[in-house]
Amino acid sequence: MTQPPAGDRDRVIETRGLTKRYRGGQLAVDGLDLAVPRGSVFGFLGPNGSGKTTTIRMLMGLIEPTSGAARLLGEPMPRAGRRVLPRVGALIEGPALYGFLTGRDNLLRYDAADPTADPRTRAERVALALDRVGLTAAARKKARAYSLGMKQRLGLAAALLRPRELLVLDEPTNGLDPQGMREIRTLVRELAADGTTVFLSSHLLDEIEQVCTHAAVMSRGRLITQGTVAELAAGARGRLAVTTPDPAEAVRVLKEHGVTDLLATGDRVTGELPAGAPPPDLADLNAALVRARVRVRAFGTERPSLEDVFVRLTGEGFDVAG
């Protein structure tokens, strides 16, 4: 697997042996070596409980690691937090909001707490942040009346009050409907295009696959792999997919030719191609189906998904529901 560039200036996040063990012996993060390239949209991928949020809390200086080291924007954390954190926007474990204040007033409070923020342009910054996350119409509503998705949007708006070199988002689409999820993905792409590095933690594989350029896979506190999304997907074999009005006969023929994990849904049959070198000739498989009088309407391999990658690396299914 190709690793991100080695130069410190090319990495916005770097960890070496980062470990967190809680009282009672629970090992939440185990020897993490992570490298996030500048300018990337980096997906931090793993099921709930895999150590993602604990890692983020250590990166942001919210908790101390048991051992190992972390650097943000080239500076050691948590020692350099005062210098680094004003250049970082973050949404971690949901936003902390004042329920009795409106959405707009919450953001005014957040901005006023930033000693580097110019009060003369505060109202303009807040209005722009609300617009970017689609909350302008709800700006005067009390935060306690916000839905979970609206609270997520408001937390993201708080992270966007100032231009940031790095944006750290922990499950940013939690509670959003499909339209809201699409809007947040579009916003992430826009931020990346403007030069912000986005570190996006999620257990939703589809979310990572649609928006990220790079990804790391976590399982049970350990880093399994990292690299570009294309590199990760290239490491998994695609599934064979056949469309036919004769699915039962297609399953029989493909099974005889070594195809495994066969699934038939309606007129569509999918399966895992047999391993080995050289790989099986797809033309031979197609010819075998035709000889057996299977009517083949479509035949080919599907591009492997990140879920395929995860299953290959860990032998586990992925908890897409949380």
pLDDT surpassing 90 at residue 179: no
CA-to-CA separations, 40 to 92, 141, 178, 193, 253, in angstroms, rounded: 19, 35, 24, 10, 45
User: How far is Cα 241 from Cα 244, in angstroms, rounded to an integer?
Assistant: 10
pLDDT digits (tens, 9 = 90+) for 132-176: 888 999 999 999 999 888 888 899 899 999 888 999 998 888 777
pTM comes to 0.75
Domains assigned to the chain: 8-234 (3.40.50.300), 240-303 (3.30.70)
Q: Percent of the chain scored above 70 by pLDDT? A: 88
Helices (H), strands (E): how many in the chain? 11, 15
Q: Which two tokens stand for residue 172?
A: 């940013």
Q: What residues pair up with 228 in beta bridges, in sequence order?
A: 214
Sign for the pseudo-dihedral over CA of 253, 256, 257, 263: positive
Q: What residues pair up with 41 in beta bridges, in sequence order?
A: 198
The pLDDT value given to residue 305: 63
pLDDT digits (tens, 9 = 90+) for 79-131: 999 899 889 998 887 788 999 999 999 999 999 988 888 999 999 999 999 99
Evaluate whether 21 touches 66 at the Cβ level (below 8 Å). yes
The closest of 67, 59, 78, 79 to 19, measured between CA atoms, is 67
> Quick one: pLDDT band at residue 304, thresholds 50, 70, 90?
low
The pLDDT value given to residue 5: 39
The closest of 250, 245, 258 to 289, measured between CA atoms, is 250
> Quick one: pLDDT band at residue 320, thresholds 50, 70, 90?
very low
Q: Which of 88-102, 201-215, 245-259, 307-321 has the lowest mean pLDDT?
A: 307-321
Mean pLDDT of the chain: 86
> Quick one: pLDDT band at residue 1, thresholds 50, 70, 90?
very low
103-107, 234-238, 305-309: range with highest mean pLDDT: 103-107
Q: Which two tokens stand for residue 24?
A: 């009672």
Q: Percent of the chain scored above 90 by pLDDT? A: 48
Chain center to CA of 127: 28
pLDDT digits (tens, 9 = 90+) for 190-205: 888 888 999 998 877 7
